């Protein structure tokens, strides 16, 4: 269990993560977005260095503005993820966050829907609490720019900003650094590698190619259907490199029924490594939160794996089999043995 004191750990251990789905634009993605807004608001309030950077680089407030002269609100309205307003009620900034989900036309100032009846532009302009502000700015914060130029329409200034704009010129410390680490852990690509000057990615190229080739050979050997669906990622405590194992794979119907997956993949196989540990080769089985599925799957695994059944492990809603990674030839032999054992009799 991860016990690090960080925003990322808070999300992993919270009900926001546990109550959500897992794939795609699911409620989990929405909850990540909510948590991202919350941790940014908290850091703005408690870290003056980050607050000053945010006002300058994200809000476009320029220099000479003291963060103490601003107040901040967390999702006061459906059309406002984060609101920052000056205490003299002169300046208003409304920020729309995007973490994984697509920007909707009604949220996009460069789309005509923005100023229609349910558009965010119309809602911001008609909100009675914000009428008195002389300068009102709406900001879209996401991975890529919509436009590198601002837009002013109907007395509302609109800006497009990227998550990479969070990275300062000098290396941040404390709360600010934790914020960047945690946002990277939420799946924001540009913040996953904000410490990139210390990374030695090139040294791992040969290993990545070898892992790719070995796993593709396994998939071909056992006639796994369809296109390869790679599942490669990392968080603060682990990395993994592998591909999904689809429930339509021939010869594994009994195992698929036992696992009873909720999605197209009933498992995953590949390589993973936890922090301060050696790499392992592994097969995962996505049983979900149904205990009967886990019990049936474990019983079937123990019957078929023989001596390898001692390698079965539990992890929340999944089961997995793991062994230390070795040479490519030894790893290929191990995966082949496991997949052969798991085939329908």
Which sequence spans correspond to the domains of the chain?
7-192, 201-342
Average pLDDT (325-345) is 92
Are the beta carbons of 93 and 59 closer than 8 angstroms? yes
**Percent of the chain scoring above 90 in pLDDT:** 43
Q: Which tokens belong to 119?
A: 């558009």
Are the beta carbons of 280 and 272 closer than 8 angstroms? yes
- The residue with tokens 């999944």 is 318
Q: Residue 199: what pLDDT?
A: 46
| pTM metric for this prediction | 0.56
Higher pLDDT, 14 or 187: 187
Q: Residue 162: what pLDDT?
A: 92
Higher pLDDT, 1 or 160: 160
Higher pLDDT, 235 or 172: 172
Are the beta carbons of 227 and 253 closer than 8 angstroms? no
Q: Residue 62: what pLDDT?
A: 73
Q: Which residues neighbour 69 within 8 Å (Cβ) at sequence distance 6 or greater?
A: 86, 87, 88
User: Residue 154: which region, alpha, beta or left (left: phi > 0; alpha: psi -120 to 50)?
Assistant: left
Q: Residue 229: what pLDDT?
A: 83
Q: Residue 193: what pLDDT?
A: 66
H helix intervals, 222-327 = 253-259, 291-305
Average pLDDT (72-76) is 89
Q: Residue 341: what pLDDT?
A: 94
Q: Which tokens belong to 266?
A: 């009933």
Are the beta carbons of 161 and 139 closer than 8 angstroms? yes
Average pLDDT (126-152) is 90
Does the pLDDT value for residue 27 go beyond 50?
no
Average pLDDT (71-87) is 90
User: What is the rounded distance in angstroms from the CA atom of residue 51 to the CA atom of residue 49?
Assistant: 5
């Amino acid at each position: 269990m991860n016990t690090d004191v960080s925003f990322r750990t808070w999300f992993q251990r919270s009900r926001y993560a546990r109550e959500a789905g897992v794939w795609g634009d699911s409620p989990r993605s929405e909850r990540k977005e909510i948590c991202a807004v919350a941790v940014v608001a908290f850091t703005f309030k408690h870290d003056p260095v980050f607050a000053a950077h945010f006002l300058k680089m994200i809000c476009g407030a320029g220099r000479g503005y003291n963060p103490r002269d601003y107040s901040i609100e967390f999702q006061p309205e459906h059309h406002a993820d984060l609101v920052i307003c000056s205490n003299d009620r002169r300046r208003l900034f409304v920020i729309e966050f995007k973490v994984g989900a697509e920007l909707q036309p009604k949220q996009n100032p460069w789309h005509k829907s923005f100023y229609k009846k349910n558009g965010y532009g119309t809602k911001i302009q008609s909100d009675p609490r914000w009428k008195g502000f002389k300068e009102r700015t709406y900001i879209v914060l996401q991975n890529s720019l919509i436009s590198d130029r601002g837009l002013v329409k109907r007395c509302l200034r609109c800006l497009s900003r990227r998550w990479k704009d969070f990275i300062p010129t000098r290396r941040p410390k404390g709360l600010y650094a934790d914020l960047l680490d945690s946002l990277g852990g939420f799946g924001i690509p540009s913040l996953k590698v904000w410490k990139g000057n210390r990374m030695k990615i090139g040294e791992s190229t040969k290993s990545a190619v070898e892992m790719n080739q070995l796993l593709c050979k396994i998939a071909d050997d056992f006639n796994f259907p369809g296109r390869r669906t790679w599942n490669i990622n990392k968080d603060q405590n682990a990395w993994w490199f592998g591909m999904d194992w689809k429930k339509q794979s021939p010869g594994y119907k009994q195992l698929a029924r036992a696992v009873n997956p909720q999605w197209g993949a009933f498992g995953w196989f590949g390589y993973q490594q936890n922090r301060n540990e050696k790499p392992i080769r592994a097969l995962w089985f996505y049983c979900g939160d149904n205990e009967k599925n886990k019990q049936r799957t474990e019983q079937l695994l123990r019957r078929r794996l023989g001596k390898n059944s001692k390698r079965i492990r539990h992890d929340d809603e999944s089961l997995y089999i793991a062994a230390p990674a070795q040479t490519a030839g030894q790893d290929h032999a191990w995966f082949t043995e496991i997949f052969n054992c798991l085939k329908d009799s």
